[in-house]
Amino acid sequence: MQLSLRIAGVVSLLAGATGALQVDWSSDDSVKDAASTVAFGLLKYYTGNNTGDTPGNLPDPYFWWEAGAMFGTLVDYWFYTGDKTYNDVTMQALQHQAGEDRDYMPQNQTRSLGNDDQGFWAMSAMSAAENNFPNPPEDQPQWLALVQAVFNEYVTRWDTDTCGGGLRWQVFTFNKGYNYKNSISNGCFFNIASRLARYTGNQTYADWAEKVWDWMKDVEFIDDDFNVYDGAGVEQGCTDTNKAQWTYNAGIFLQGAAMMYNFTEQDVWKQRVEGLVKRTNEYFFDDGIVVERPCEGFNSCDYDQQSFKGYLMRWMASASQMAPFTFDTLMPLVKSCAGAAALQCSGSPSADLYKGPAGTACGFKWTSKEKFDGLAGVGEQMSALSAIQYTLVKKQSVAPVTATTGGTSKGDPDAGRPMEAYMPSLPPISTGEKVAAGFVTSAIAFSVLGACFFVMKD
Ligand SMILES: *[C@@H]1O[C@H](CO)[C@@H](O)[C@H](O)[C@H]1NC(C)=O
Ligand SMILES: *[C@@H]1O[C@H](CO)[C@@H](O)[C@H](O)[C@H]1NC(C)=O
Ligand SMILES: *[C@@H]1O[C@H](CO)[C@@H](O)[C@H](O)[C@H]1NC(C)=O
Ligand SMILES: *[C@@H]1O[C@H](CO)[C@@H](O)[C@H](O)[C@H]1NC(C)=O
């Protein structure tokens, strides 16, 4: 009797500690509370502000780019919730990692720095400009100028020697993946070009966005049905396409296309937005819940891939503002994902997986519509935070600013360096040295899973 009572006590205690987030989705305050709880758990992974650590870095096993993505999520967290708690660490990180040359190419990251890695930091700086995140002191790198630096460097890397154009995945010849051209690197270029066009009104940026899109279509990384594939090798002239479809590739082009539609008001961009919305909805969602197709069903998503869904949430919410005709399609999907993600935020895993309060770790498989699935990490926590916080985007929300509608970030159209200035002469990476290629999507898709899953959903 006594024993069973004690067991019952333990069970109810556990149940109390592991209940999912309670969110009243009709109340902004309740949504903000939930976002705050999840954000608190996310920041427990961050050690860059500890004495002796480097601001802006996440500890192993998280790559540099994911930290950049995290601080972009936190810029938006502040913008939508008004909670300034993490503004200081966000400012410090986005400034420190701008690096020696104010272009998000810090020397420490040379071994792992691809065009996409640099791009994720640039997109976070762009969000800071668009949201009027506090400006750094005048002698420090400014948000808009940082994005322009990355844009200008991308222009110098546009490679017409192979595949008729496009950015390679990697910047440096000695990094693994230099011979691959991919959608995420070109997506970063397209994304910041379209946003710079809208923010500054400078047509040069729009012309480059157009050029990247056209090239993506030419090599059929985006096909006529608006599938967005991973990439292809340059030796084969970009014909051996790896057809894995990742949520963030669809999302990064969706937001950029919506920006271009907003900037140009052209029907051709409206049709592209419509195409991407339709295909994204069909391909990635099961009953309104997003699934990372190439890996989620196989329990094989790596640390990078575990974070992709959150960026799709971010870019869908943004597209719903820049192309308001998509709002009634996109925002119900963000909301259904948020509900499912919040159910997952009930975990109490061991401290090596999660250091936040018990009962607040977020799992990965939102389709399970159940409690915590046991997977915890920066990707899971950040994706859940994204889904939850972006439900605060309203039809009549205050739109991101531009230079003529209240934007205060200072630009420098000439920022960045010519290619010769940053090509270091490093010896080739020796075997055994950690090859920290920021993204490993292609390798995973080919070697672990084979090609069978590509036909899983059509
Ligand atoms: C680092 O930032 C986190 C999140 O804001 C905070 O909880 C922690 O106390 C900070 N650590 C230091 C050493 O300032
Ligand atoms: C590069 O690494 C050194 C040594 O860990 C560190 O002090 C410095 O802050 C790092 N620089 C950047 C931009 O991360
Ligand atoms: C561009 O975005 C603004 C802000 O959301 C919106 O009011 C406007 O209608 C959009 N333009 C077009 C052509 O949809
Ligand atoms: C527009 O952007 C291009 C590319 O950075 C730059 O060369 C040009 O000076 C800019 N034009 C204006 C008017 O700022």
Scan for tokens 């809208």, then name that residue: 198
Nearest CA to ligand 1 atom 3: 43
Task: For residue 386, give the nearest of 33, 38, 126, 133 by alpha carbon.
Answer: 38
366 CA to middle of ligand 1, Å? 29
Residues with Cβ within 8 Å of residue 219, at least 6 apart in sequence: 163, 164, 166, 181, 232, 238, 241
Amino acid residing at 91 = M
Q: What is the dihedral of CA 122, 31, 55, 66, to 10 degrees?
A: -50
Is 8 a residue whose pLDDT tops 90?
no
Q: Which atom of ligand 3 is nearest to the CA of 325?
A: 14
What is the C-alpha radius of gyration for the chain, rounded to an integer number of angstroms?
A: 21
* Mean pLDDT (whole number) for 88-111: 96
pLDDT score at 396: 79
**pLDDT tens-digit series, residues 373-400:** 999 999 999 999 999 999 999 997 788 9
Write out residues with Cβ below 6 Å of ligand 3: 262, 265, 321-324, 399
pLDDT score at 112: 83
Query: pLDDT-derived band of residue 426, with 50, 70 and 90 as boundaries?
Result: low
Instruction: Please state whether the peptide bond connecting residue 136 to the residue before it is cis, i.e. omega within 30 degrees of 0.
Output: no
Ligand closest to CA 401:
3
pLDDT score at 100: 95
pLDDT score at 7: 37
Q: What is the dihedral of CA 71, 73, 78, 84, to 10 degrees?
A: -30
Amino acid residing at 450 = G
Q: How many angstroms separate the CA atoms of 44 and 422, rounded?
A: 34
Is 437 a residue whose pLDDT tops 70?
no
Q: How many angstroms separate the CA atoms of 216 and 186, rounded?
A: 8
Scan for tokens 């389709």, then name that residue: 367
Where are the strands (E) in 336-397, listed by range?
345-347, 361-362
What letter does residue 430 receive in the DSSP assignment? Answer: P
Is 450 a residue whose pLDDT tops 80?
no
**pLDDT tens-digit series, residues 229-275:** 999 999 999 999 999 999 999 999 999 999 999 999 999 999 999 99
Query: pLDDT-derived band of residue 111, with 50, 70 and 90 as boundaries?
Result: confident
Amino acid residing at 199 = Y
Scan for tokens 């640039």, then name that residue: 122
Percentage of residues of the chain with pLDDT beyond 70:
88
pLDDT score at 421: 85
**pLDDT tens-digit series, residues 306-316:** 999 999 999 99
Strand-pair partners of 222:
228
322 CA to middle of ligand 3, Å? 5
Structural contact between residues 372 and 345, judged by C-beta atoms closer than 8 angstroms: yes
pLDDT score at 428: 52
* Mean pLDDT (whole number) for 208-220: 98
Is 457 a residue whose pLDDT tops 70?
no
50 CA to middle of ligand 2, Å? 13
Residues with Cβ within 8 Å of residue 424, at least 6 apart in sequence: 107, 110, 172
Is 458 a residue whose pLDDT tops 90?
no
> Ligand 2 pocket, 96 CB below 6 A?
yes
Structural contact between residues 116 and 438, judged by C-beta atoms closer than 8 angstroms: yes
pLDDT score at 28: 98
pLDDT score at 230: 98
